């Protein structure tokens, strides 16, 4: 969302909302009282799933199987 604000001319509230989401993501992950490794892995999976969904729904960029291997 921050990228959309800076690079694609979206309104400032989009960038602010993106910053808030990033801060909350970090705070929630560090405030866990149990098995931080498993929790962090779960949040990582959620982050990846949400990124794919965002690209699919908002940016209209569909996931594919093309993988670049260098």
Residue-wise pLDDT for 7-31, tens only, equals 788 888 888 898 899 888 777 777 7
* pTM, entire model: 0.47
For residue 6, give its domain range.
2-57
Residue 43 lies in a domain: yes
Question: For the chain, what is the domain count?
Answer: 1
Residue 13 lies in a domain: yes
Q: Which helix (H) or strand (E) covers residue 25, if one does?
A: helix 12-30
Contact 40, 29 (CB under 8 A): yes
pLDDT for residue 70 is more than 80: no
pLDDT of residue 65: 65
What is the chain's mean pLDDT, rounded?
78
Confidence of residue 69 (pLDDT cuts 50, 70, 90): very low
Residue 8 lies in a domain: yes
């Amino acid at each position: 969302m921050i990228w959309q604000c800076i690079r694609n001319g979206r309104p400032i509230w989009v960038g602010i909302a993106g910053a808030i989401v990033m801060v909350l993501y970090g705070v929630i992950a560090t405030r866990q009282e149990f098995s931080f490794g498993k929790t962090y892995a779960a949040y990582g999976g959620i982050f990846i799933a949400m990124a794919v969904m965002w690209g699919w729904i908002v940016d209209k960029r569909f996931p594919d199987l093309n993988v670049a291997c260098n």
